[in-house]
Amino acid sequence: MSVLQTPTPSAVRTVSNVPQLNAMLPILADASTWAFDLEFDRDRYSYGFNLCLMQIATPEMVWIVDPIAIEDLQPLYRLFETATARKLCYSSGEDLRLLHSLQCFPSQLVDLEIYAKLLNHERTSLAAMLLGLLGIELDKSLQKVNWGKRPLSQAHLNYAAADVAHLFALDEAFQLQAQQQQLAPFVAEEMLHLNGFRHDMSPKTWFLKTSDERFLSPYQQQVLNQGLVWRDAMARKLNKPAFQIMPEEAMRNLILDDLEPDEFLNQPGLHPKVRLPSTLNGLYEALDRWHADATNQGWSKKKTAFELGATPQMRDQRAQQKTTIWQPIQQHLAKQYGEHTMRFLLSSTQIDALLNGKVVVGGLQPAYRKTLILDAARATGADLSAWM
């Protein structure tokens, strides 16, 4: 086992101004393969979802791009969209969500974590794959630092460079394994689906948890959501994460327990701005409006736990269907492709969504998953017509 070595200083370049950016772009435009990763802050140190650093690599060079220093990265974003290079990444979900929010929609993406999941690896983190396949130990000591702070130390730059420098070797290893196990067609469908997916970046207007929707009355839901919208607006104004304005539990206690101002001020974790008389008075005035609006709109105060399509009889039926129909299908898939690949193809969460009518088998994407599930259903004698 060896600790992953950062590329030599001559092979790592910082990009913190337009001339440096312009020097990088033609090299990327001519490359056949890139690797990239993002460092960001999502409501940990400041409000919202903020790009803090971009790491981009070819097999010969790593660039550390500073989006805080460079005001306009549109030329780079457009190259992400138009360049024909394969663009390697790992566990792309949040990175793509952020890029989509910046109106950047990369093409030719290859998310290497998808290989790991299809290849039946139990632990599919980047660190686990590097250690298991390449015998390389990845240093993750700076994983939770504030990437929005400047200046960045050399240790930060080394850490960031190491996150992309090894993806080319990992790509080669995964491609070989996928070919050996005849999974390349499944990988191709997954990547095609990934490249066509677009995150919905509409402004968030509903802040409740699933448990709130199940256990609170419609009236309570409406008033609580208004309170959480108020908290979010104050967080945006102060450029602070919402939890630093007030813990979510404090807003729940205020609204659901009908706290008086003195009681509310005893809640831990309130930002000093919230404690100001002007803010507190404004909050209680708003609370009165939210109650009035919920009343005027006729929202019921009756709690509706389990009433939305989940009577005891229906819950018993779904539990039986899960045991007699869906678990045998899972077992068949596990026998063919392995336990961990099975959970990627058909997880218990996906089964619950099918049983609750949130998705149907006919709508599963990529399409090969539907084919594998239907084949498994035929092999186990399961009738899936109710979920088509």
pLDDT digits (tens, 9 = 90+) for 341-351: 999 999 999 99
d(CA 247, CA 352): 31
Residue 224 and residue 192 in one domain: no
- Same domain, yes or no, for 42 and 163? yes
Give me the sheet containing 12-15, strands edge to edge.
Answer: 12-15, 62-65, 49-57, 33-42, 86-89, 109-111
Q: What pLDDT, on the 0 to 100 scale, is given for residue 169?
A: 95
CATH number at residue 263: 1.10.150.80
Report percent pLDDT > 90 for the chain. Answer: 81
Tell me the pTM: 0.89
Q: Is the pLDDT of residue 148 over 70?
A: yes
Do the domain assignments include residue 219? yes
How many Cα atoms within 13 Å fall on the side-chain side of residue 173? 16
3 has pLDDT over 50: no
- Residue finishing a domain among 269, 296, 323: 296
d(CA 234, CA 230): 6
Indicate the SS3 state at residue 230. Answer: helix
Give Cα separations from 340 to 115, 326, 331, 334, 371 (angstroms).
12, 16, 11, 8, 19
Residues 185 and 216 in one domain: no
pLDDT exceeds 50 at position 263: yes
pLDDT at residue 213, as a whole number: 86
Q: Do residues 144 and 279 share a domain?
A: no
Same domain, 190 and 115: yes
Confidence of residue 144 (pLDDT cuts 50, 70, 90): confident
Q: 307 in a domain, yes or no?
A: no
- Residue 125 inside a domain? The answer is yes
225 close to 207: Cβ distance less than 8 angstroms: yes
Answer yes or no: are the C-beta atoms of 275 and 245 closer than 8 Å.
no
Q: Residue 316: its pLDDT value, please?
A: 86
What would the pLDDT profile of 172-208 be if each residue is shown by its tens digit? Answer: 999 999 999 999 999 999 999 999 999 988 889 999 9
- Tally of structural domains, the chain: 3
DSSP 261-297: HHHHHTSTT--HHHHSHHHHHHHHHHHHHHHHHHHHT
pLDDT of residue 8: 54
Residue 5 has pLDDT above 50, yes or no: no
Tell me the pLDDT of the chain averaged across its residues. 92
Q: Are residues 72 and 143 in the same domain?
A: yes
For 34-56, the pLDDT digits (tens) are 999 999 999 999 999 999 999 99
Same structural domain for residues 149 and 292?
Answer: no
On the question of pLDDT at 374 being above 70, the answer is: yes
Residue 302: per-residue pLDDT: 85
Cα(40)–Cα(312) distance, rounded to whole angstroms? 44
Mean of pLDDT values over 339-363: 92
222: containing domain? 210-296
pLDDT at 268: 94
Asked whether residue 129 falls in the same domain as residue 86, the answer is yes
Tell me, yes or no, whether 11 and 116 share the same domain: yes
Question: Is 275 domain-assigned?
Answer: yes
Can you tell me the distance from the alpha carbon of 344 to that of 167, in angstroms, rounded to the nearest whole number?
22
Within this chain, do residues 6 and 132 fall inside the same structural domain, yes or no? yes
Q: What confidence tens digit (pLDDT) does each residue in 299-326 have?
A: 999 876 544 455 778 888 888 999 999 9
Task: Say if strands 12-15 and 62-65 run parallel, antiparallel, or are unpaired.
Answer: parallel
Identify whether 61 is part of a domain: yes
Which of 151, 168, 196 is the C-terminal boundary of a domain? 196
Residue 10 has pLDDT above 80, yes or no: no
pLDDT of residue 369: 96
Whether residue 54 is contained in a domain is answered as: yes
Q: Both 353 and 227 in a single domain?
A: no
User: Which of 196, 226, 255 finishes a domain?
Assistant: 196
Which residues, 6 or more positions from 156, have their beta carbon under 8 angstroms from its beta carbon? 142, 145, 147
Asked if the structure places residue 202 within a domain, the reply is no
Mean pLDDT computed over 125-154: 88
Please tell me whether residues 354 and 263 are part of one structural domain: no
Taking residues 110-115, report their average pLDDT. 98
305 located within any domain = no
Residue 38 is encoded by which pair of tokens? Answer: 């993002």
| Number of Cβ atoms within 10 Å of the Cβ of 90 | 26
Question: Which residues are CB-contacts of 209 (< 8 A; sequence separation ≥ 6)?
Answer: none
CATH number for the domain harbouring residue 171: 3.30.420.10
